[in-house]
Amino acid sequence: MKNPKKLRLSLRRREELLGYLFTLPFTVGFVLMFLYPFIQSIIFSLSHLEISATGYNLLSVGLKNYHQALFINADYPRHLFETVVAMVRDVPLILIFSFFAAILLNQKFRGRLLARVIFFLPVILGADIILQMESADYMTALLDGTVDQQMLGFVSRGELRELLMHLKLPDVLLLYIIQGSERLAEIIRASGIQILIFLAGLQSIPDSLYEVAEIEGATGWEKFWKITLPLLSPLILTCVIYSIVDFFTSPTNPLVAFIDSHAFGGAGYGVSMAMSWVYFLLVAVVLGVVGAILSRRVFYMD
Amino acid sequence: MNTRRLQRLTWSLIRGMIVISICFVILRPVLTKLASSFMTEWDIWDQTVRWVPRSFSLENYRAMFEFMRYPQAALNSLLFSFTIATAQLVSCTIVGYGFARFRFRGSSFLFGLVIFTLLVPPQIIVLPLYLNFRFFTIWGLLPEPGLDLIGTFWPFVLMALSATGLKNGLFIYILRQFFKNMPKSLEEAAYIDGAGSFKTFLTVMLPGAIPALVIVFLFAFVWQWNDYFFTSIFMRNGTMLAHTLDIAAESYAHAMGTTLTGQYISLLNNTGMLMFIAPLLLLYAVMQRYFVESVERTGIIG
């Protein structure tokens, strides 16, 4: 109590020290288990790598691996392009679906707990090995195939198509929705975490806001556009980023499988590292662009 | 008033149909596996059989139980996932708390690095990591060839303890968010009562954070159980369930001395996949109420 100013300063210093101490595991792990291999991978992508029983040798080859990946390999650029197109096609669907599902699950109805348990199930069941085996599986193709032809839940595909025709939507949109409905199972599977995030967000919106709006005479439609959507917009950004990353790193993504088969299949580690790096830079550019566009539209309450 | 009730009734009907349809789409892969697990090859060729087999049999289960080396492999997977998930939970909780409660220079930069680890595809760092563990010199402390950690638990333990394991960035994020939302007065009361920072963390903050800890542990356990990418590279001849599942049908054919038809392999694989996800389903069934409630209270919010 002699010198309050000094005491406060030392408290401040103590807090800093504790902060460094608590986050130390990550700092150490980041440097050794992430940054170090991360830098090594840059070097590997510029080298020819040979592994023997006693160690590995690096021979610098400059940009040859990148040249090999981009201009000599026949499949890589095509895979790269297709992956980005598939991402642009799927992420909006995943987002719309998970938003919609979260709003459904937030309403009160009988069996809501069971519905939530089932909706989160894909988070548990999405093992790489299961997805890989299913994609080549006879019975899955047989049973799911017959179901798919017959119906999507209750509405048959033909009926859906006819209904959409009547709505006189533009052809591009029509095609997009129909193709999306054909991949409904995949979309739903990729939405587990996003539903979780949106649901948690919906529950954090204070009821008083809706009550005030009701007193002022707002309709459900207005409440959605003026309250729900703006308050959830930061989460939309989070979910978009999560969906993009999840899509790009998913083991069922053909490009990831393609790169993996190069790394441990003997076509040259250097080339596969170069492929990974081109891919990563592309992902970074996509994330940067999307993040920059969306973050300008995000609304923060405080 | 009557039209209002009619409206509400119509909506709850439509909502029921939508929810049931989506649940069906999610559950379909599980139903497919369940149906095929009881089939014999005759049922595949029998045109009248779709979902319910005519010649009900447990032979698939018997075969997969033996060739997946089920009791041993399941125990291995269980012990492994439990250990790693616990280590990840401990490290991520400490780090998450550090980010949530202490202000120190560079904390937002360091937290940016946490998010960065999530955005980089694992393909980039997996090969250098593999080489570092294959010739493990504790980053230069041991003489050259070093220890060979491939095929052991150590790579996973080291990564889990340093909060750089599978999706650990996400766990740090969730826990930081949760600790941030806990009232500061709790800690201040503990400090006034004379508890130190570590004691406060252990006796006041941790018990209050149980909902978030449950979610993180469940995620960590499930993702470790499901992981095939890292385990197949760091433990090539591993005896985890994912490995034995991958080759079980093949080794069955080998033991029988015949080649199996693709259809029969599919039945075996479906049975195996069901046996692979069964423990997870059980775990989820036990924890679901807690899990779904935790989601509401943790508010994984951006």
Cα–Cα nearest to B171, from B104, B102, B118: B118
Do A196 and A274 lie in a common domain?
yes
Q: Percent of chain B, pLDDT > 90?
A: 23
CB-based contact (8 Å) between B242 and chain A? yes
Is there a domain that residue A166 lies in? no
Instruction: Give chain A's radius of gyration (CA, Å).
Output: 25
Do A78 and A2 lie in a common domain?
no
CB-based contact (8 Å) between B244 and chain A? no
Choosing among B77, B104, B178, which should be mutated to test the A contact, i.e. which has the most A CBs within 10 A? B104
Inter-chain touch B128–A41, beta carbons under 8 Å: yes
Inter-chain touch B35–A143, beta carbons under 8 Å: yes
- Between CA B223 and CA B71, with CA B157 as vertex, the angle to 5 degrees is 60
- Sign for the CA dihedral angle at B268, A188, A247, B241 comes to negative
Residue B84 pLDDT > 90: yes
- Give the count of beta carbons closer than 10 Å to the beta carbon of residue A224: 12
- When pLDDT is cut at 50, 70 and 90, the band that residue A35 belongs to is very high
CB-based contact (8 Å) between B182 and chain A? no
Residues A187-214: tens digit of each pLDDT:
888 888 888 888 888 887 888 888 999 8
- Coil vs helix vs strand at A110: coil
DSSP string of B19-77? HHHHHHHHHHHHHHHHHHHT--HHHHH-TT-SSS-SS---HHHHHHHHHTTHHHHHHHH
DSSP string of A197-242? HHHHHHHHS-HHHHHHHHHTT--HHHHIIIIIHHHHHHHHHHHHHH
Res B88: pLDDT = 96
Residue B214 pLDDT > 60: yes
Is there a domain that residue A46 lies in? no
Do A128 and A22 lie in a common domain?
no
Architecture of domain B58-298: Orthogonal Bundle (1.10)
Rounded distance between C-alpha atoms, residue B269 and residue B271, angstroms: 5
Res B86: pLDDT = 96
**Segment holding B247, helix H or strand E:** helix B241-256
User: Which positions in chain A touch B139 (Cβ < 8 Å)?
Assistant: 32, 36
Res A1: pLDDT = 46
Could you tell me how many helices (H) and strands (E) chain B has, helices first? 15, 0
Do A105 and A207 lie in a common domain?
yes
CB pairs under 8 A between A and B: 273
- Between CA A112 and CA A119, with CA A115 as vertex, the angle to 5 degrees is 140
pLDDT average, residue stretch B268-273:
90
Inter-chain touch B98–A19, beta carbons under 8 Å: yes
User: Which positions in chain B touch A196 (Cβ < 8 Å)?
Assistant: 295, 300
User: Which positions in chain B touch A7 (Cβ < 8 Å)?
Assistant: none
Give the one of B44, B102, B295 whose C-beta lies nearest to A200's C-beta.
B295
Is there a domain that residue A174 lies in? no
- Rama region for B57: left / alpha / beta (φ>0; ψ in -120 to 50; rest): beta
Do A10 and A99 lie in a common domain?
no
Is there a domain that residue A228 lies in? yes
C-beta separation of A23 from B99 below 8 A: yes
CB-based contact (8 Å) between B263 and chain A? yes
Q: CATH number of the domain at A226, please.
A: 1.10.3720.10
- Give the count of beta carbons closer than 10 Å to the beta carbon of residue B287: 16
Residue B108 pLDDT > 70: yes
Domain count, chain A: 2
- When pLDDT is cut at 50, 70 and 90, the band that residue A275 belongs to is confident
- Sign for the CA dihedral angle at A220, A221, A223, A227 comes to positive
User: Which residue range is the domain that position A270 belongs to?
Assistant: 66-132+187-295
Contacts of A165 (CB under 8 A, 6+ apart): A174
Inter-chain touch A129–B228, beta carbons under 8 Å: yes
What A23-27 contacts at long range (C-beta under 8 Å, 24+ apart), as own/partner pairs, is A23/B95, A23/B98, A23/B99, A23/B107, A23/B110, A25/B91, A25/B94, A25/B95, A25/B161, A25/B162, A25/B163, A26/B91, A26/B95, A26/B110, A26/B114, A26/B162, A26/B163, A26/B164, A26/B172, A27/B110
Cα–Cα nearest to A118, from B20, B18, B11, B278: B20
C-beta separation of B87 from B139 below 8 A: no
Inter-chain touch B17–A107, beta carbons under 8 Å: no
Residue B302 pLDDT > 50: no
Residues B166-197: tens digit of each pLDDT:
889 989 988 888 888 788 888 888 888 888 88
Contacts of A229 (CB under 8 A, 6+ apart): none
- Between CA A158 and CA A168, with CA A163 as vertex, the angle to 5 degrees is 125
Do A288 and A223 lie in a common domain?
yes
Q: Which residues pair with A48 in a beta bridge?
A: A59
pLDDT average, residue stretch B45-56:
74
Cα–Cα nearest to A19, from B104, B298, B242, B184: B104
- Rama region for A152: left / alpha / beta (φ>0; ψ in -120 to 50; rest): beta
Res A123: pLDDT = 84
| Tokens 């209002």, located at residue | B4
Res A4: pLDDT = 53
Q: Where are the domains of chain B?
A: 58-298
- When pLDDT is cut at 50, 70 and 90, the band that residue A150 belongs to is very low
pLDDT average, residue stretch A167-181:
74
E strand residue ranges, chain A: 47-51, 56-60
Two structure tokens written together for A217: 């005479």
pTM of the model: 0.86
Give the one of A107, A126, A200 whose C-beta lies nearest to B300's C-beta.
A200
pLDDT average, residue stretch B213-237:
87
Residues A85-131: tens digit of each pLDDT:
888 888 999 999 999 999 998 888 888 888 888 888 888 887 778 88
Res A61: pLDDT = 80
**Minimum distance, in Å, between the CA of residue A293 and any CA atom of chain B:** 17
Residue B298 pLDDT > 80: no
**Minimum distance, in Å, between the CA of residue B216 and any CA atom of chain A:** 13
Rounded distance between C-alpha atoms, residue A124 and residue A117, angstroms: 11
C-beta separation of B8 from A109 below 8 A: no
C-beta separation of A213 from A230 below 8 A: no
Do A109 and A202 lie in a common domain?
yes
Give the one of A54, A238, A256 whose C-beta lies nearest to B302's C-beta.
A238
Residue B159 pLDDT > 70: yes
Cα–Cα nearest to A137, from B212, B32, B136, B111: B32
